[in-house]
């Protein structure tokens, strides 16, 4: 497979030295290169005894003005109660079968209407120009539960601007890895795969849309969508597609997996909306994982101030 260099300036030119050093550790690990004794010592593991997928410390992170100060869910909660149908239907399946998936090396194909060359870009090249930050976001699942997660990532818009989409690019389409040999859910065909999601271009350029590579300061575990996933905090969780291998700038609205599977229950927009019930349950309340009492769901999951304007004049009951 041909892996081209991403169109960017060298990260060492724009990143403070310490951050750059930490980034190199992550990139080095993410590339699947065998860590030498020095690298292993830095990560607190004896050389030669590295686990299949050691979690890398992502170093110093810039805090975000968009972070909530609500109580964060624990690392245990965030990594053991998941939706990732490629690993199975139960909330415990993603953790149980996470080790089936190999995430190193990883490439992301970027293509479509843009001024840069379409190619498979190594994950390191996708990440290297970006400064990582911590964004503590509420995640509201369509099944009426929610969590507060300290994501690590960078704004999707920064990546989009690097690739210079043309005016024909009205939507961004994302695809998850299709590898039935490692995803038992794909072997069982429990959904139509590969998992696909999409955003309208203005949504994708909204500063809140995040490409995440970690939680709690460490690289993502496979059950959370390693090595790179989307986080769209004002939309139901199914929009936050995991383990992305393809980003495409397209003219037509993509057909997203859950909309294809059950169109009258799951739409394209999927903005969190307590006033529009799911056909089989109410969306007015939610259960924050770890809390006893349920709480009211907020419009746009509480992010209306940043995003509501994008939907002015749209009927959000029809565009669910």
Q: Which stretch binds ligand MTE (CB under 6 A): 232-240, 247-255, 292-300, 312-320?
A: 232-240
Peptide bond into 303 cis (omega under 30): no
Alpha-carbon distance values, 240 to 77, 148, 164 (Å): 18, 14, 23
What DSSP designation does 299 have?
G
CB of 231 to ligand MTE, least distance (A): 9
Q: Which helix (H) or strand (E) holds 214?
A: strand 210-215
Beta-carbon count within 10 A of 16 CB:
11
Please state, as a whole number, how many other Cβ atoms lie within 10 Å of the Cβ of residue 305.
8
Nearer to ligand MTE, 15 or 224 (CB): 224
Q: Which of 235, 242, 246, 288 touches ligand MTE (CB under 6 A)?
A: 242
186 contacts ligand MTE (rule: CB under 6 A)? no
Write the CB contacts of 90 (distance below 8 Å, at least 6 apart in sequence): none
Pairing of strands 62-63, 295-296: unpaired
Residue from 20, 26, 84, 249 in contact with ligand MTE (CB under 6 A): 84
Residue 238 engages ligand MTE in binding (rule: CB under 6 A): yes
**For ligand MTE, how many residues bind (rule: CB under 6 A)?**
17
The CB-of-80 to ligand MTE minimum distance in angstroms stands at: 10
**CA nearest 272: which of 232, 315, 229?**
232
Close Cβ partners of 124 (under 8 Å, ≥ 6 residues apart): 27, 30, 31
Nearer to ligand MTE, 159 or 245 (CB): 245
Do the Cβ atoms of 193 and 178 come closer than 8 Å?
yes
Contacts (CB under 6 A) with ligand MTE, residues 114-153: 139, 141
If one asks whether residue 193 binds ligand MTE (CB under 6 A), the answer comes out as no
Instruction: State which of residues 15, 22, 72, 82 lies at the interface with ligand MTE (CB under 6 A).
Output: 82
Of 61 and 147, which has the nearer Cβ to ligand MTE?
147
Among 30, 55, 64, 86, binds ligand MTE (CB under 6 A): 86
Contact in structure between 76 and 173 (CB atoms under 8 Å)? no
Using the rule CB under 6 A, give the single segment among 66-74, 84-92, 98-106, 150-158 that binds ligand MTE.
Answer: 84-92
Residue whose entry in the numeric block shows the structure tokens 């859950």: 258
Summarize as ranges the residues that interact with ligand MTE (CB under 6 A): 82-86, 139, 141, 176, 195, 224-225, 237-238, 240-243
């Amino acid at each position: 497979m041909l892996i081209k260099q991403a169109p960017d300036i060298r990260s060492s030119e724009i990143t403070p030295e310490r951050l750059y050093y930490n980034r190199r550790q992550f990139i080095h690990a993410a590339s699947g290169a065998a860590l030498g004794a020095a690298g292993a010592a830095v990560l607190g593991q004896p050389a030669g005894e590295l686990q299949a997928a050691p979690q890398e410390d992502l170093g110093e992170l810039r805090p975000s003005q968009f972070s909530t100060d609500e109580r964060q869910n624990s690392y245990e909660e965030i990594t053991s109660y998941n939706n990732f149908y490629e690993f199975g239907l139960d909330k415990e399946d993603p953790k149980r079968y996470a080790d089936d998936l190999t995430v190193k090396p990883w490439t992301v194909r970027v293509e479509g209407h843009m001024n840069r060359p379409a190619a498979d870009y190594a994950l390191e090249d996708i990440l290297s120009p970006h400064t990582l930050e911590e964004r503590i976001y509420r995640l509201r699942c369509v099944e009426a539960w929610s969590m507060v997660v300290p994501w690590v990532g960078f704004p999707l818009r920064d990546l989009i601007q690097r690739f210079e989409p043309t005016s024909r690019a009205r939507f961004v389409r994302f695809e998850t890895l299709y590898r039935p040999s490692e995803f038992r859910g794909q072997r069982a065909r429990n959904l139509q795969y590969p998992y696909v999601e999409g955003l309208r271009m203005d949504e994708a350029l909204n500063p809140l849309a995040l490409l995440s590579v970690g939680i709690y300061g460490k690289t993502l575990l496979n059950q959370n969508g390693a090595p790179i996933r989307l986080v769209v905090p004002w939309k139901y969780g199914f929009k936050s597609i995991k383990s992305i291998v393809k980003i495409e700038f397209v003219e037509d609205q993509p057909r997203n997996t859950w909309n294809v599977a059950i169109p009258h229950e799951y739409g394209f927009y999927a903005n969190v909306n307590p006033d529009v019930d799911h056909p089989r349950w109410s969306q007015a309340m939610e259960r924050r994982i770890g809390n006893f009492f349920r709480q009211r769901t907020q419009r746009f999951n509480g992010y209306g101030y940043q995003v509501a304007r994008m939907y002015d004049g749209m009927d959000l009951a029809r565009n669910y």
